[in-house]
Chains A and B, each alone.
Chain A
Amino acid sequence: MGSLPGTFAAIPLAASLIALGPVDLAIIVIYFLFVIGIGVYLKRFANTGHDFFMAGREMTAWIAGLSFISANLGALELLGWAGSAYQYGLLAVHWYWIGAIPAMLFLGVVMMPFYYVCKTHSVPGYLELRYGPHTRSLAAICFAAMTILMSGVNMFAMAIVMQVVLGWNLHLSIWVSSLTVALYVGSGGLLSAIFNEVLQFMLIWLGALLVPILGLYQAGGWSGMVRRIEHHVAHGASYVHAWSTLGHFSANPMGINWIGIVFGLGAILSMGYWTTDFLVVQRVMAAKDLRSAKMAPIIGAAFKMFVPFIVILPGLLGLALLPMKLYPQTYVQAHASAALFSYNDVLPLMLVRYCGPGLLGLGVTALIAGFMSGMAGNISAFATVWTYDIYRPLIRAQASDSHYVAMGRWCTVLGVLISIATAYVAMHFQSIMDYVQALFSFFIAPLFGTVVLGMLWKRATRAGGFWGLLAGTTSSIAMYLWVKFDPAALKYIALSRQAKPMAEDMFRALWCFLIGVAVTVLVSLATRPAAAAQLQGLVWGHTAIPSERDYPLLHRPIFWAALIFAGLVVLNIIFW
C-alpha cells in the first residue's frame, strides 16, 4: 500500500536539498555494486523454474518475513507516509497498525496453510485451482497490468524525488536504478530479489533510525514533541492522537471517521493487500515449510509494528522542530518561485538536519534501497504471473522448464522496460499516479472477498467466484467514476460531504468488497456445488492442515501471533 500523496509532474526545482560528499557517494556506489554482485552470485542457483520463480522454496521464516515486509517498505512508503504524518499527524499510524498488523497475522494463521498446502505458485494460481481458469485469467491479467503500471509510476515518482532531493538527472535516476533491478532480478530470480530485500531492509532501518533518535533527543522526548506541536500548530492536539479524534469526519485533519478506518482500511483494504497481493504473498510462498510460511508474516508483523518509529515519528518531529512550514505538493508547484517545501520533503529535510558526511550517504542509500526493493518486488511478481498464469496457459502450454525460465528472465527485462516507458508517460500526465493508485485499489478489495470465500466457504462455486470478482471490480470502478463526475455523490459513497479522498478510498473498498461477496454468495447458491474431491487442499474442512500441538509453545505461530496482537492493542491504547 505504498503511496506518495500528491502529484509529481513538472516540479521545477533547480537546487537540491542535499549536497553529497565523497564518502556519501562512495556509500551509494558500493551499494549498487553489492546488489548487482549478489544477483550475479545467485545466478548459479536459479536454473530451474522452481528456483527462479519460487526461490527453490528454501527460505527460512526470518528471510521470508523480512523480505515480505521489505517488498512493501519502498522509498515512496517512507517519504509519502512521513509526509502524511506531517500533514495528518498520528492518524497516519493506522496504515501501519490496524491497516497492516491484523491482516498480516490473518495471512499467517488462517490463509497461509491453504496457499502452502495446495503448492500453488501464485495467488492467481490458487484461483485457478479453486475457481477455474477464467477467474485465474481475470486476476492474472489485472494483476500483471496493475503491477507494471504501479512499478513505472513509482519509478517516475522516485526519480522526481532524486531530482528534488539530490539534484540528480531524472533520466539517469530512472535508467540506472531500474537497470540495476533488472540485472539482479533477471540473474537470480526471486532468490536474488529476496536476498536483496533482506539487505535493503537492514539498510532502511539503519539509515533512517538515527533521525527519530536525534529528533526525540532535541525535542525533549515524546512529551516535549507533543508540547511543541500543540504550541506550533492550530488544533495541534488532534495531531498527536490515533483514535480520540475519529468520532466525526470534521474532528481530525484526515477527514475520516472510525468506521472508515476500522472497516474500510482494517477489515477490507489492508486484508486485501496483505493477503492477496502477490507482490508480498510471493515472498511467503517461498518459505521452506508450512511452519516457516506461517511464521514469516508474523515476523513481518512484529517489525511492521515498529516501522512508524522511522516513518511516522520523523513526520511528527518535522512538525515540531522544522523552522519552515511545509505545504501540499500542488501548492508548492503553483508557487515554484517561492522555493517552498512540500510535505513529502519532510524526511529528506530531517536527514539533512541531523546527518553529517557518511550518515547522509547511508540515509540516501536507505531511500534508494527502499525504491529498489519495491520495484524488485513488482518485477519478480510480474515475471511469475506473466510466465505461469498468462503465458503458459494462454499462449504456450507445452514447453520445457528451461523455456519458461528463459521467459521469466526476458520478461523481467521486458517488465522493467515497460515500467520505464510508463514512467515517461507519467511525466506528461500530472494525475496519472492518482488514477493508477485508484486502479490498483479497484482490484484488491474484491479479490480479497473472492479468495477468502474460496478458502473458508466450501459452497462457493466457480461461477460464483468469477462473477463476484467481476462485480466487485466493476462496482468499484463505477463508484470511483460516479464521484469523479458528480462530487456530490461523496455523501453516498463515504457517508459524508466532509469526507476527504482517503476516506472515499476506504469506503469504496468496503462497498465493493460487500458487493463482490454478495454476488459470489448469490451466484454460488444458484449454481451446482463443486464435488468434495475437487476441494481437497483448497478449502477449510477439506484441507488437512498439520497440527501445531506437537510444537513447544515458543515454536507455535499462533502463540507469537497472539503476542503481537496484544502488543498492537497496547500500542493503540497508549497512543489513543
Chain B
Amino acid sequence: MKQHVNRIWFLIGVLLAIYGVLILAAGIYNWFAPAAHPVQLAGLHSGVWWGGLLLALGLFYIGRYRRV
C-alpha cells in the first residue's frame, strides 16, 4: 500500500484541530460575554467542551499519523 493512502487521517487531524481551536475560542468568549439571546442549555457551555474534544481528537490524529 502506498504511503499517501493513510495521509487522510493526518489531514483529518489538522482540520479537527483547527475547528477545535475556533470552537473552543468562541465557547470561552461566550462564557465570559454571553449572547443576548442564548441557545437552550447555554449554561452547559457545550462549545467549550466540544471544541476541546475536537482539538484533542485532532492532536491525536496529527501525532499518530504525522510520519505516515
Contact = CB atoms under 8 A, between A and B. Distances in A.
Point out which of A195, A217, A358 has the most chain B C-beta atoms below 10 A from its C-beta.
Answer: A358
Nearest to B15: A34
Nearest to B54: A206
A185 to B, nearest CB: 15
A359 B46 contact: yes
Interface stretch (A23-31, A385-393, A489-497): A23-31
A59 B5 CA distance: 7
A354 B39 contact: yes
Nearest to A217: B41
A353 B50 contact: no
Would you call the interface of chain A mostly helix, strand, loop, or mixed? helix
Contact of A199 (B5, B12, B22, B40): B12
A26 B21 CA distance: 12
| Category for how many chain A residues contact B | 35 or more
Contacts of B47: 356-359
B8 A195 contact: yes
B30 A214 contact: no
Given A195-B8, A206-B54, A288 B39 contact: no
B23 interface: yes
Interface string A184-206: 00000000000100110011001
A60 B7 CA distance: 12
B12 A42 contact: no
B19 A356 contact: no
Interface in A24-68: 26-27, 30-31, 34, 38, 42, 45, 56, 58-60, 63
A353 B40 contact: yes
B11 A38 contact: yes
Nearest to A195: B8
Nearest to B49: A210
A356 B1 contact: no
A218 B46 CA distance: 13
Given A58-B5, A199-B8, A30 B26 contact: no
A174 B18 CA distance: 27
A206 B8 contact: no
B2 interface: yes
A352 interface: yes
B5 A356 contact: no
A23 B54 CA distance: 15
Contacts of A45: 2, 4
Contact of B15 (A23, A30, A59, A218): A30
Contacts of A530: none
A220 B46 CA distance: 17
Contacts of B36: none
Interface of B: 1-2, 4-6, 8, 11-12, 15-16, 18-19, 22-23, 25-27, 29-30, 35, 38-42, 44, 46-47, 50-51, 54, 57
19 contacts: A27-B22, A27-B23, A30-B15, A38-B11, A58-B1, A59-B5, A60-B6, A63-B5, A199-B15, A210-B46, A217-B44, A354-B41, A356-B39, A358-B22, A358-B25, A358-B27, A358-B47, A359-B46, A359-B50
